[in-house]
Amino acid sequence: MAKPILIANWKNHPGSLKEAENILSKISRNRRSYEKINLFIAPPHPYLAAVSSRTGSLFKLACQDMPALVKETSTGSVMPDILKSFGVRLSIIGHSEVRAQGETSEIVSQKVATALSAGIAPLVCIGEKERDRDGEQFGFLRDEIGRSLSSLKDGDAQKLVLAYEPIWAVGKDALGVIEPGDLSQTVIFIKRVLADIFGREMADKIPILYGGSVDSSNTRELVHNTGVRGLLVGRASLDASSLKTIAESLIEKE
């Protein structure tokens, strides 16, 4: 069985390199808690070097976005070969906070292709804005998954990681999180959509993560029997002790 995946999405935090180094030192002190998981840290770009210098058996480096197109000159963009040279192994793509700025699923699909051609694994985020009793979100999710993965060739599907992040649950408090029953139902649905696209055997290999207000108090119920193979964690990942508890809950699940 592959190790559970834990992604620390630092977003635009912490506020200084010194604080970033401080968090990394604290994470390193809890080394044993991360031995049985695949931990990725996705820092803001200016901290890539600091995180990169500490990668190794404890954690790997991820980035928070990918350019859609590789251009020779592009002011303000960080091209995938630069990210790769820092040791970036995985890229978050299609995060709801980026989609909210106008990123369409077609652009997400281009970013997936860019990541793969640079040898960086795409972690594609999908998730509905609202959940309703009639299950309207399922149609939305099917469409969003299909369009976001439209550039992906069958042979590359095994490099894909999918994160289900319902937008209504991102950045809320621990109680704003999804009900475990709703989560397992959605994971089953996502697997079915992936099976329709790539076939059952491949779909079973694609890890599905959950993200949205995960913290040390709710991890256990989110990962127990829900079918998720890991977590994408925002705020709580900046706190070394919360991250440690989350990692330990992921291991207990195994």
- What residues make contact with ligand PGA under the rule CB under 6 A? 9, 165, 170-171, 211-214, 232-236
Q: For residues 187 and 182, give the distance between their C-alpha atoms in angstroms, rounded to a whole number.
A: 9
3-state class (DSSP) for residue 115: helix
Question: Is residue 165 annotated as part of the catalytic site, yes or no?
Answer: yes
Catalytic residue of the set 97, 144, 165, 248: 165
How many Å apart are CA 180 and CA 224, to the nearest integer?
8
Asked whether 8 and 42 are in contact (CB, 8 A), the reply is yes
Residue 165 CB, nearest approach to ligand PGA (Å): 6
Q: Where are the beta strands (DSSP E) in 127-240?
A: 161-164, 208-211, 230-233
The encoded tokens of residue 195 equal 């099976």
Residue number, 156 or 165, with CB nearest to ligand PGA: 165
For residue 214, the minimal CB distance to ligand PGA (Å) is 5
Positive/negative CA dihedral, 124, 225, 223, 253: negative
Q: Which among 95, 97, 144, 248 is annotated as catalytic?
A: 95
Q: Which is nearer to ligand PGA, 10 or 34 (CB)?
A: 10
The question of whether 13 is a catalytic residue gets the answer no
Residue whose CB is less far from ligand PGA, 203 or 214: 214
Q: With respect to ligand PGA, which residue has the nearer C-beta, 177 or 194?
A: 177
Residue nearest to ligand PGA (CB): 234
The residues annotated as belonging to the active site are 95, 165
